[in-house]
Amino acid sequence: MRVLIVEDEEQLADAIARGLRLHSIAVDVAYDGQDALELASYVDYDVVVLDRDLPEVHGDEVCRGLAAAGAAPRILMLTAAGRVRDRVAGLELGADDYLVKPFAFAELVARVRTLGRRAPRGVPAVLERCGVRLDPARRTVTRDGREITLTRKEFDLLHELMRAQGDLVPAAELRRRVWDEFADPGSGVLRVTVTSLRRKLGPPPLIENVPGRGYRL
């Protein structure tokens, strides 16, 4: 799962990002609405944590723009305006959930994970390819009827490869999608995760490595 934090209070935004990364969630940060819309135009985020009171482009406009996208991310609106009419207005703009500041971080994590488990708009709830069946909502994987237990990163990696429907996915894009923009390409974390995923999926091998380019299922 990949999350975008949109918050103009930089210390708060960075603190949320650090906390989510400790829960193995890939996170990017935008400090204003314009940057958020630009990032979302070329990165397929699963969840956007969106502050409503933003400079430049207001959070309401960001919410409308994201909700209108063809494969829109789930939106958790984060704001100090906690009146019922404020919450209703936010949901009517296209937000999926609403959390009032100040908030308990554990609740934020739980809400992000809940939104991330929902099937993305415009994407089939269950993906099937080469005998592998992946259910994003239940986070379950089977191969030829055999249940496979994966770590969070292995599951997310397989999800990205299956969404590509056999197309090659560049290694850099997998690192960005499964980890985040700060993933060290020299760390070998992608290669190690692919190796572990191959072992768990079993023979015959399904994941092809195209040296210097990326991977495909």
Tens digit of each residue's pLDDT (9 = 90 or more) over 20-34: 999 888 899 999 988
- CATH 1.10.3720.10 for domain 127-216, yes or no, is no
Tens digit of each residue's pLDDT (9 = 90 or more) over 159-210: 989 988 888 989 888 887 787 655 565 668 888 999 999 999 999 999 999 8
Give span(s): CATH 1.10.10.10, the chain: 127-216
- CATH 3.40.50.2300 for domain 2-117, yes or no, is yes
User: Around Cβ 141, how many Cβ atoms within 10 Å?
Assistant: 23
Do the Cβ atoms of 129 and 166 come closer than 8 Å?
yes
| Separation between Cα atoms, residue 58 and residue 137, nearest integer Å | 31
Give span(s): CATH 3.40.50.2300, the chain: 2-117
Tens digit of each residue's pLDDT (9 = 90 or more) over 65-93: 887 765 678 899 888 765 666 666 656 67
The token duo for 181 is 């923009």
Q: Which residues of 56-66 are buried (b: 16+ CB within 10 A; e: fewer)?
A: ebebbebbebb
Pairing of strands 2-6, 26-30: parallel
Helix (H, G, I), strand (E, B) or coil at 182: coil
Do the Cβ atoms of 52 and 79 come closer than 8 Å?
yes
| Separation between Cα atoms, residue 12 and residue 134, nearest integer Å | 35
**pLDDT-above-90 percentage for the chain:** 35
Phi-psi category of 207—alpha, beta or left, where left has phi over 0 and alpha has psi -120 to 50? Answer: beta
